[in-house]
Amino acid sequence: MPWQQVTPMSEKKEFVSLALREEANISRLCRYFQVSRKTGYKWLNRYRREGEGGLGDRSRRPRSSPGATPPLLEAAVLEMRQAHPAWGGRKIQARLQAQGWTQVPAASTITNILHRHGLIDPEESARHQAWRRFEAEAANDLWQMDFKGHIPAARGRCHPLTVLDDHSRFALGVEACADERGVTVQERLTRIFRRYGLPRKILVDNGSPWGSDWEHPYTPLTVWLLRLGLQVGHSRPKHPQTLGKDERFHRTLKVEVLQYCLGLELTQCQVRFDAWRPIYNLERPHEALGLAPPVSRYRESPRSFPESPAVWDYGPGDQVRKVQAEGWFSFQGREFRVSKAFRGQEVALRPTLCDEVYEVFFGPHRIAQINKREAPDHD
């Protein structure tokens, strides 16, 4: 399978694709992509005048081919299938149309061409079934994040971390990590947040480094996300379909990329991930999006990443306490406990309608409830 190095061309294509959206904020995009407004508008104007050719030299199909004959179209189908072995008739048809080819064959005809050349495994084809899932209303309302297991690398294992926008299926990050620790995820997420801004909510799996929503919901990583003003949700235990879009994305990642990364260095894996991600976001037709690519529905977030998370400003009626080691804090002569992930942070206690019962807040996030009559022992 052919691979290309990450180049300024892929950066320009992604910038232009997002900037062409009707509601795009060009200044914010320039900040996220770390270019001047002058440069951003120059790319945009060149693209409008000359198409992709205005962004730099790049091997591509002609935007139109009125004299093309069926053999040429068949050759184009086979070439695209060779470049993208996991794409079927509908995706190839949509991509050829997007490239400007005229008289593109029907999807069924393209499928027949692939069958005729022995490029489709009937058993594998029968296994793929589409099914409907919940979808966030707008881009950046919800991101899904998870690790795609791990694969053998040249030294140790490669743990692919994936971050996907729920509404658009836009892949915000595919990261080759050496481990699944919270500090590793935070480092990678920081780069993603600087590039695309913040979502409203992130949906994660249960277990390390995310925590769970039923027993130990908070870890240093999720507390950091809360400090950024994000909501954090967890998939239901033993229900992987809650993260269904990211799970489906993992299938595509495995077929189109991961099988070619076995035994490579982590840096080599990242090169392949970075080369594939623009193809997935900007070119690959997505069946759940009516065969449009994910970029057609994605827009940049209006919420920029704060380099210094906000310090919560609690109200005058709040009882503010600082969480000590192992999650303990004192309140009216008694000791109570929250997750030790909040160690060193300030929380606020607010009374409820029930006597002696208080809710514990971390900023706007309700994190616990305590009952003064049931204060735990502090050994």
Q: Which domains does the chain have, with CATH numbers?
A: 8-127 (no CATH), 143-296 (3.30.420.10), 319-374 (no CATH)
Cis peptide bond upstream of 209, omega within 30? yes
pLDDT at 120 over 80: no
pLDDT in tens, 311-352: 888 988 899 999 998 899 999 888 999 999 999 999 999 998
pLDDT cut 70: percent of the chain above it: 86
Confidence grade of residue 183 (pLDDT, cut at 50, 70, 90): very high
Give the pLDDT confidence of 90-105 residue by residue, as tens digits.
Answer: 888 888 888 888 878 8
Residue 246 has a pLDDT of 80
- The CA-atom distances, in angstroms, between 76 and each of 66, 110, 207, 361, 366 are 14, 10, 46, 59, 56
Strand partners, 151: 158
Helix axes 37-50, 8-19, angle to 10 degrees: 80
- pLDDT for position 180: 94
pLDDT at residue 58 tops 50: no
pLDDT in the model for residue 70: 58
**Pairing status of strand 357-362 against strand 365-371:** antiparallel
Q: pLDDT (tens digit, 9 = 90+) per residue, 212-270?
A: 766 668 999 999 999 999 999 887 665 555 567 888 899 999 999 999 999 999 999 99
Q: What is the pLDDT of residue 237?
A: 62
Q: Are 338 and 360 in contact (CB under 8 A)?
A: yes
318-341 residues labelled b (16+ CB within 10 A) or e (exposed): eeebebeeebbbebeeeebbbbbb
- Dihedral of the alpha carbons of 354, 356, 357, 363, in degrees to the nearest 10: 120
pTM of the shown model: 0.74
> How many CA atoms does the CB half-sphere of 295 hold within 13 Å?
18
Confidence (pLDDT) at 131: 39
Per-residue burial over 61-70, b if 16 or more Cβ lie within 10 Å, else e, is: eeeebeebee
Residues 6+ positions from 276 with CB-CB distance below 8 Å: 174, 256, 257
3-state secondary structure of 277: helix
CA dihedral 22, 24, 25, 28 (to 10 degrees): -170
Looking at residue 71, its pLDDT comes to 82
C-alpha distances in Å from residue 335, one per residue of 179, 219, 368: 36, 21, 14
N residues, the chain:
379
Residues 26-47 have pLDDT tens digits of 999 998 888 899 999 998 998 8
- What is the C-alpha separation between 37 and 103, in angstroms, rounded? 39
Tell me the one-letter amino acid at 57. Answer: D
Angstrom distance (rounded) from CA 118 to CA 50: 38
Helix 70-83 and helix 107-116, axial crossing angle in degrees, nearest 10: 80
User: Tokens 């409907």 sit at which residue?
Assistant: 132
H helix intervals, the chain: 8-19, 26-33, 37-50, 70-83, 89-98, 107-116, 122-127, 182-196, 220-227, 244-256, 266-278
For 375, which DSSP code?
A: P
What is the structure's pLDDT at 375? Answer: 64
Tokens found for residue 350: 């607010």
Per-residue pLDDT at 301 exceeds 60: yes
Is residue 68 pLDDT above 80, yes or no?
A: no
